[in-house]
Amino acid sequence: MKKFGLIAVGGIAAMVLIAQLGPMIGLAASLLILYLVLKQFLKTESTLGKIGWGIVGFAALMASASNVPAILGVAAAYVLYVVYKKWNEDKIVVKEENDPFVNFEKQWAELNRN
């Protein structure tokens, strides 16, 4: 039943991630443009240049703000990561519990120490 829950949560997270790929790319591009505009704004010494870079920066900021739902895509990617880790964690625990030689090796090591 636990595997079914992981599959269900992972499937929903995968669908959300796929649906948010476009906005995630748009957010990354607009934040990159905003960063580059900010660097140019700080370098520019003329008032007219600062006004121009300020207008371009404001447009990039609005483009970034319009892609805020992409944060859902980032959260979905994190949920997929957690589901993947939980899925692999279960395999490791089950393997150790069902291995009859683990207990034997521990007892053999104790006997050799005495």
Domain ranges of the chain: 1-20+74-109, 22-68
> What pLDDT is recorded for position 107?
78
Q: What is the pLDDT of residue 97?
A: 58
pLDDT digits 0-9 by tens, 71-99 = 899 999 999 999 988 888 755 554 555 66
CB contact at 8 A, 30 and 67: yes
Distances (CA, A) of 58 to 19, 26, 35: 27, 16, 12
What pLDDT was estimated at residue 105?
A: 76
d(CA 89, CA 102): 18
Using 50 as the pLDDT threshold, list the residues of the chain that sit under it: 94
